[in-house]
Amino acid sequence: HRLLTSTAEAWAHGATLTWDPALPPGHLTTLPTYPFNHHHYWAVTSPAGVGDAAAGRFGMTWEDHPFLRGGLPLADSGERVFAGRLAGSEHDWLTDHAVSGVTLLPGTAFVEFALHAGAATGCGRLEELSVEAPLVLPAAGGVRVQMRVSAADESGRRRVAIHSAPEAAVHSAAEGGDSAGVWTRHGEGTLVPDPEPTPPDADWARAWPPAGERVEPAELYERFGALGYEYGEAFAGVRAVWRQPDALLAEVLLPDRASTGAGRFGVHPALLDAALQPWIAGGLLEVPEDAVLLPFAWQGVSLYATGAGALRVRLTKAGDGAVSLQAADTSGAAVLSLGALVMRPLARRKLDVLLGTDAGERSLYRVEWQPRLLPAGPPRSWAVLGPDADRLAGTPGLGDQPDGGPTALYPEVRALRKALAAGAPRPEAVVLPVLSGAGATPESVRQTTERCLTALQDWLDAEELVDTPLIVLTRGAVAAVPGEEIGDLACAGVWGLVRSARSEHPGRFALVDTDGHPDDRTALPLALRAVLDGAGQLSLRAGTARTPVLLRAGTPEEQRGPAFDPAGTVLVTGATGTLGRLLARHLAAEHGVRHLLLLSRGGRAAEGADELAAELAGLEAEPCFAACDAADREALARVLAEVPADRPLTGVIHAAGVLDDGTLDALTPERIGTVMRPKADAALNLHELTRTSPLSVFAVFSGAAGILGRPGQANYAAANTFLDALAQHRRAHGLPAVSLAWGLWGGATGMTGHLSGTDLRRMRRSGIAPMTHDQGLALFDRALAASAEDPLLVPMRLDLAALVRERAEHGPDAVPGPLLGLLPARAAVRQAAAPVRGGAPAPAGGEGTAERLAGLGEEARLRELVRLVRAEVSGVLGYSGPDAVEPGRPFKDLGFDSLTAVELRNRLGAATGLRLPTALVFDRPTSQAVAEYLAAELAGPRDGGDTAAAAFEGLEALAAAVGALAEDDLRRDVLRRRLTELAAALTPQGRNPSAPAPAPSDLDERLDSANDDDLFAFIEEQL
C-alpha cells in the first residue's frame, strides 16, 4: 500500500513512471445490458478518508453504494448493520418524489436497500418487505439510515429491518443526549438464499413495440398529479405505455437528472418506480376518491442483472390491490421480477396526520408589503409618457429633472421615438402614469387595462428603447398597508397585466404605486433609481418604499372566520363547472348549507346539473339552478330579486372564470374582455347588487397568476388583481370579503383542462405544485377561517426544492419576487441585481458563462453554445436531457408555441447576459441557428473591437458629412442636438460642458509625450 501511495505521489509531482510492473493485471468487463445512448455517467468521488482501507482499520466494510456507505459485522452474532445518509443536497433527484407536497423516499429505495444487503450476505431474493411508515426527507439537512440484517436461521433466511433518524437527533444522542424515540422503523422483511436464480421467460419483451392501445405518458402524470402524487423530472421515466386486456406494458428510461452514480445501484430506485407507474393507466388497481394508494408490501423480488438504464416492463394483476411486475432490458433479457406489490389506500386526512403536514398549514399564504430602503440618489433623467403625462407632470418629484430643467412629456411611445430620432436626449427611465380618472365600472376597468396594454405593446416594438425601462405609475391601485382603501379600483388590473409582462420580458417593465403624499417629492425619483437597480414592484406610502412578499398565514387556532348561516341562501357562480360542483357539494356536506343558488350560463340544462341536484338532495340541500350570466347586471338583478325573504342571501362565492392565454404581443382588447367579463365584470355586479344583503361571506376566486405574474396570462392576471383589490376595497368599507388567489388545481377542471403535459411540467419546474380536490377544499375552509385577518389570501401548493433549483440554475429573476422570502435562507442569499439599463438581469454565473464562452475559440464556442441551447430547449419542454434535442430539428416540430419561445429566449438571455430579440425562436427556427446567432453576438466586432478607433473614424466621416450640408439644411439642427448630448456624456461630472477645454497645444504635447499607461489614464480621466 505504501509503495503504491509513494508511486502515485511521485507521478503527481511530475515523475516519469512505467506503471505496468506496479499495477495488477487488468480484466475484461462485460458490456452493460442496455444500448449505448451517448449519455455521460460520471464517477462520483467518495468522501475523503472513506474507502476499503479506511473502513477496514475499524473492522467495517466499505459499501460502494450511493445510499449505504458502510457495513459492520456484529461480533458473535452473525448479524450485520449497514449505515448511510440521505439528503436532498447530496442526492437532489430524491426531491422529485413527493406525495401531497411532502418529499418522501420512494418505496423502491427500501427494496434497493434490502437487495444490496441480500447480495452482501448470500440471500439474493427478497421474499417479503412490509412498509410500516414513509420516510420523509427534510428540506435541509440529512437523515441517517440503518439496516439491520439478522443471522441466518436453519433455512438460510435472514430478517431485515430498516430504520432512520434525523441527523441532528443522531448527533445529539452521540453526544450524550436521549436516544429514546430517535429512530423510526420503516420496514421489515425477509431475505432468502437464491444461489442460482433462474430468470423467468421474457419472450413478451422481444417483439417490441407490443400490440395494444397506446396510452400517452403525459396522461399518466396528469392523473398522478390530480391524486396528489408529485413526480419531478427524475421520476418521470415512463416513455410509452400499451394497454392489453390482461396486462399493461411499458418502456421506461432513467432520466439524466437521476443518472449520476446509477451503476452503483442494483436497480435504480427512480427506474424501478417508473416501471411500476403504469398501473394508473387502469385495469389493475382501483383508485379510491378520498385516499392515496401507498406501497404496503413487496413480495418475491429477484434481481437478475444490474446497471440497467432502460427497461421494458409488464404489469399484471396479482390479486385485490396488488400488481406483479416483470422487467427486461431492451434485448429481452430478464432484469427483475416482482411477485406482488400490495398497495393499501390511506385516507388523505390520515396521510396529512401521518406526515405531520396539514395541507392548510403549509399551503396558505398572505401578501405583505415590506419596507425597502431606497437608493441615495435619483436617475440622471427621466421622461413622462402617455395621455396622463400633463396631469402627472406636476406631481411632486416628477415635474423637474435633477438638473432643474423641465421633464420631457410625450403623449405616446411614437412621439418619444420621433423625438429620439430627431436627436432628443435619451432618458434613463420613462414613466407611464396610468390613472383611470373615473369610478370603477366594467367599462372603465377594461378601458384602463386595454390602454395600458397598447402602451406596453408599443414599447416592445421600440427596439431603440430596449435598454430603457418603462415604469408604470399608479396611484392607489394596490393596498400596501393593512386596511388601506383602494383609491383607484379601475387601475387595479394594470398591476396584474404588467406583472405578467415583466415575466415575459425581464428588465423591460416595472411598477410603482404612490399615495400622493408630499414626501413623494423626494421618494419618487429615488424609486425610479431603485427600478434601474433591479427593483420590479414598489409602493410608496408616506415616502416609505415597500415591496410585496408572500408569508405563511397564521395557524387555525388564531383565527375565527365567518360562518355560513344555515337559514340563508348561498350563491355560487360557475356552479356547474368542476370547481363549482365541488364547492356546492362541500358547502352542503361540511358547512351545513341547505339553500344553494347555483348560477351558470346553462343553468339546469348544463351538463352534469341533474347529477349534482341528486347529490345535493342526498345531502339534504335544496339547490336552485339559474341560467344567468353574472356579468349581465340586469339579469343578475332579476335573479337576486327572486331570493325568498325567509332565506335571504347570506353568502356569495364567485368561482366563475375563463382563460384565453397568450403572450403579451398577441393580446387584443377583445381577449382582455373575454377574460375580464366573467371575472371582473361579474364580481363588480355582485359587489354592487349585494351591498344591502346580510352577507357573512363574500368570497371571490382569484388566481396566483395576478400576484406572481405568470407569463402568457397577462389578461387573466389583470382580472385577478382586480378581484384582489375589490375584496380589499370592500373590507376597507366594512363589508365582508376575501379574495382567494388560487394556485394550480390538479385534474382537468374547466380552467386547467387545456393544459398540456409541457404546460404542467413547466409549472412544476417553476415551483407550482398541483393540489388535489380534497386539498383544495381543505384550503378553502382554512382560508375562510384566516380571512378575518386578511382579505387577500393565496391557497397554493409550492415545491420549494424546485424554486431553489430554478434560482440556482437560472438566477434570482427566474423566481417571482414575492416567493423569494419563502426559500431557505442559505438558498436565498441576496445578490446585487443587474441594472435594468445594462441588459436583462443575469443570474449568478451568467456573467461567468459569457466570459467562459468568450475565452473559447470560434469552433469550441459554437459547440458549447449548441450544447447550451439544446439543454435549455430540453428544460423548457421537459425532455430527459439535451441529447433528446436534435440541433437541426425545427422548433415547431418540437412543439414550441409563443410561450415556450418566450421562456427559451429568457433562459438563454439569463445564461449569456445578452439582450435577445423577442422573435429569436421564430427568426432562427433550430437549436443550431440560435447557437450560431448567439456565437455572433458574443464574438462582437470581427475586427477585434477597437471601439475607440472606430469612434474617431466615425467622427472624421461625420465632419466630412457636415461640410457637405447646406447652411439651411434642417438636419444640421438634428446633428447639433445629438452632438450636444454626446458632449454632455463625455464631460466629467461636476464640470460645465461649456467651460473651455485644455489648450490644444497642451493636449497635443501631453499626447505626444505619453506612454501606453499615460494614454489609458488619460482616456479614463476623460470618460
Active-site residues, by number, are 97, 273
Residue 111's Cβ-count burial label (10 Å; 0-12, 13-18, 19+) is buried
The gap from C-alpha 628 to its chain's centroid, in whole angstroms, comes to 37
Q: Which amino acid belongs to residue 322? A: A
C-alpha closest to that of 96 among 83, 109, 85: 109
The torsion of the CA quartet 890, 894, 895, 896, rounded to 10 degrees, works out to -50
Per-residue CA distances from 98 to 119, 489, 947 (Å): 29, 41, 54
Q: Other CB atoms closer than 10 Å to residue 47's CB: what's the count?
A: 8
User: 902 CB contacts (<8 Å, ≥6 apart)?
Assistant: 504, 663, 711, 712, 918
C-alpha closest to that of 654 among 622, 618, 678: 678
b vs e for 693-712, b when ≥16 Cβ sit within 10 Å of the residue's Cβ? bebbbbbbbbbbbbbbbbbb
Q: Which amino acid belongs to residue 493? A: G
β-strand 622-627 against 595-600: which pairing, if any? parallel
The enclosing H or E element of 705 equals helix 705-708
Q: What distance separates the 2 farthest-apart alpha carbons in the chain?
A: 113
CA–CA dist 198, 303 (Å, integer): 10
The three three-digit cell numbers of residue 125, written as one number: 431474493
The gap from C-alpha 880 to its chain's centroid, in whole angstroms, comes to 18
Q: Are 461 and 505 in contact (CB under 8 A)?
A: no
Q: Are 367 and 550 in contact (CB under 8 A)?
A: yes
| Spatial strand order in the sheet of 102-103 | 102-103, 97-99, 229-231
Please compute Rg for the chain using Cα positions. 33
C-alpha closest to that of 500 among 708, 675, 680: 708
176-180's contacts with Cβ under 8 Å and 24+ in sequence apart are none
CA–CA dist 449, 714 (Å, integer): 10
Q: Are 82 and 116 in contact (CB under 8 A)?
A: yes
CA–CA dist 1, 468 (Å, integer): 66
The three three-digit cell numbers of residue 179, written as one number: 436516544
Per-residue CA distances from 700 to 416, 566, 723, 726 (Å): 40, 20, 7, 9
The enclosing H or E element of 371 equals strand 364-372
C-alpha closest to that of 202 among 338, 32, 326: 326
